[in-house]
Structure 1
């Protein structure tokens, strides 16, 4: 089997397509969560702790003063703990939402168990087979 044929069979399998769809939806969902954290939650957290922009909490390691994180990064090394906390909160929210989704899926699976597979017919007993042979021989 050629490489191209083998790859085509692999790519067409349902699991690969499902995985691709999941990655695409996950990327879009990650952007939504990032926006919720950056645009809605972190401003409220910043307001609660002094009204400052939380993403601009940093320590300039190069010693050059800067007004914003972007300027500080241009000037040299920066310990951007505010940005890290924003990303960490983003991850925690995303992990919590995924946990809730998996919990719901597991609850639905438990409520609707799959139908049992039909039982295989039991093998015919030897005495029945013998009686069938006798009946067939008598018919001849």
Structure 2
């Protein structure tokens, strides 16, 4: 049975679900920073997913990155699977701007997180609702 890692539970807002992945918003308003987690038990690496889940993971990641780039007017999209703190397989999809606080460096550990207020998370959900397709299910916020 799928269970979300406790670090991810504590550090993110639940947005909803794609067919394979849970979509989370990192609780750091310095960047529009999203995290995709395949809802499969015991997966720590991308290659542990079966072939069809790997294809679906990449499709969901690519679709999300494309939507976010347009929706947020990104200068660059950062997509990565780092799992040194959280071993559960997850994909970071981060909107970057040349004016953001960490540019051009990585976002990890550079600046203190600026937590979102509930109203700001709701605004992100509303923006996403206008562009995500029918295959996405929003959580109750």
TM-score (norm 1): 0.26
Structure with higher strand content:
2
**Structure having the higher Rg:** 1
TM-score (norm 2): 0.26
Higher RCO (CA 8 Å, separation ≥ 6 residues): 2
Structure with higher helix content:
1
